[in-house]
C-alpha cells in the first residue's frame, strides 16, 4: 500500500477502518481467555466502540483490529427470552463443527425483536498456505427465525479459494437456502436446524467437487499438445522470423 499510495498519513487514517471491515466480513476467529473454542468477529456480536460479544463464554471484550489482540474482558448478559433456544443450538452446532471442520469455529447469537426470536449462527473455517501458494476459506451464516405463526431457516454458504503459483486462479462460490419448518421445542429445533446445515454443506461440497472435475477436463483440453517431434515449439524463433519477413516486405514496397 505504501508503494501504491506513497502517503503514510492517508494509510494511517483508513487502515484501521479497512481492517475492521475485513475482519467482520471474514468472521475472524480469536481466542479469548485461552478458551478452547474461539469467538468469531462478526456484525452480530458487534457491541460498538470496538467491543464484541463471545456468547459461548457470556462475556464481552475489546478487539484491536490491527493487532488482533483482545483486552478488557467483562461479563455480559445475553437476551434471556431466547437463551434456551440459542444454548440448545450452540451445543448441537458446536458438535457438528468439531466433527466436520478440523479448523472450524462457530458463534451463535440470540436476539428478540418484539414477538419474533432470531438465532444467528456463524461458521468459519480457513486454511491459509502461503508457502504452498494457496488459501481457502469456508464460511456460512444461518438464521432460525421463530415467529408466533411459523418457523423459518435462512442460510448462506460461501467458499473462496485462491491458487497463485505461477499465476492466479480464484474461485468464489455460494448458495442460499430458505425453508419453513414446524418445531415443537428447543431440542427438536436444534436437531433439525443442524441437519439442514449438514445437508446443505454436503450438497454444496459435492457440487463444488463436480465442478472442479469439469474444470480440470476443460483446462486439459485447452493445453497445447506437443508436436510429433515431442519437443516444445520455440515461439521466439517464429516471432523473429515473422518480424524479419515483415521488414523485408516493407523494404521491398
Q: What does the alpha-carbon distance between residue 17 and residue 103 come to, in Å, rounded to a whole number?
A: 27
Cα-Cα end-to-end distance for the chain: 52
Residues 62 and 90 in one domain: no
Q: Is the pLDDT of residue 213 over 90?
A: no
Does 190 fall in a domain? yes
The number of distinct structural domains making up the chain is 2
What does the pLDDT read at residue 237? 72
Confidence of residue 228 (pLDDT cuts 50, 70, 90): low
Residue-number span of the structural domain to which 124 is assigned: 80-222
Residues 69 and 88 in one domain: no
What CATH number is attached to the domain comprising 70?
A: 3.30.1140.60
To which H or E segment does residue 90 belong? helix 80-100
Among 75, 91, 119, where does a domain finish? Answer: 75
CA 18 to chain centre: 17
pTM of structure: 0.80
Confidence of residue 155 (pLDDT cuts 50, 70, 90): very high
Q: Is the pLDDT of residue 251 over 80?
A: no
Q: Is the pLDDT of residue 165 over 90?
A: no
Q: Is the pLDDT of residue 43 over 90?
A: yes
Does 245 fall in a domain? no
Does 39 fall in a domain? yes
Does 246 fall in a domain? no
Residues 199 and 134 in one domain: yes
Among 33, 60, 75, where does a domain finish? Answer: 75
CA 227 to chain centre: 44
Q: What does the alpha-carbon distance between residue 157 and residue 190 come to, in Å, rounded to a whole number?
A: 19
* Of residues 170, 180, 181, 177, the one with CA closest to residue 203: 177
Residues 104 and 205 in one domain: yes
Does 251 fall in a domain? no
Amino acid at each position: 500500500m505504501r508503494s501504491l499510495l506513497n502517503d503514510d498519513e492517508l494509510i494511517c487514517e483508513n487502515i484501521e477502518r479497512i481492517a475492521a471491515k475485513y475482519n467482520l466480513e471474514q468472521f475472524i476467529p480469536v481466542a479469548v481467555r485461552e478458551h478452547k473454542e474461539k469467538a468469531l468477529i462478526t456484525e452480530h456480536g458487534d457491541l460498538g466502540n470496538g467491543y464484541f460479544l463471545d456468547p459461548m463464554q457470556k462475556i464481552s471484550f475489546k478487539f484491536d483490529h490491527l493487532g488482533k489482540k483482545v483486552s478488557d474482558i467483562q461479563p455480559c448478559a445475553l437476551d434471556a427470552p431466547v437463551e434456551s433456544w440459542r444454548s440448545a443450538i450452540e451445543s448441537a452446532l458446536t458438535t457438528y463443527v468439531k466433527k466436520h471442520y478440523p479448523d472450524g469455529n462457530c458463534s451463535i447469537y440470540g436476539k428478540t425483536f418484539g414477538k419474533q426470536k432470531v438465532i444467528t449462527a456463524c461458521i468459519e473455517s480457513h486454511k491459509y498456505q502461503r508457502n504452498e501458494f494457496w488459501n481457502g476459506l469456508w464460511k456460512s451464516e444461518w438464521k432460525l427465525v421463530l415467529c408466533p405463526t411459523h418457523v423459518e431457516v435462512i442460510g448462506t454458504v460461501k467458499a473462496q479459494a485462491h491458487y497463485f503459483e505461477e499465476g492466479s486462479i480464484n474461485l468464489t462460490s455460494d448458495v442460499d437456502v430458505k425453508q419453513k419448518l414446524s418445531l415443537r421445542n428447543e431440542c427438536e429445533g436444534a436437531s433439525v436446524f443442524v441437519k439442514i446445515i449438514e445437508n446443505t454443506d454436503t450438497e454444496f461440497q459435492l457440487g463444488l467437487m463436480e465442478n472442479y472435475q469439469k474444470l480440470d477436463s476443460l483446462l486439459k483440453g485447452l493445453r497445447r499438445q506437443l508436436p510429433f517431434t515431442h519437443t516444445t515449439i520455440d515461439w521466439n524463433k517464429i516471432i523473429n522470423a515473422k518480424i524479419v519477413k515483415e521488414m523485408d516486405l516493407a523494404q521491398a514496397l
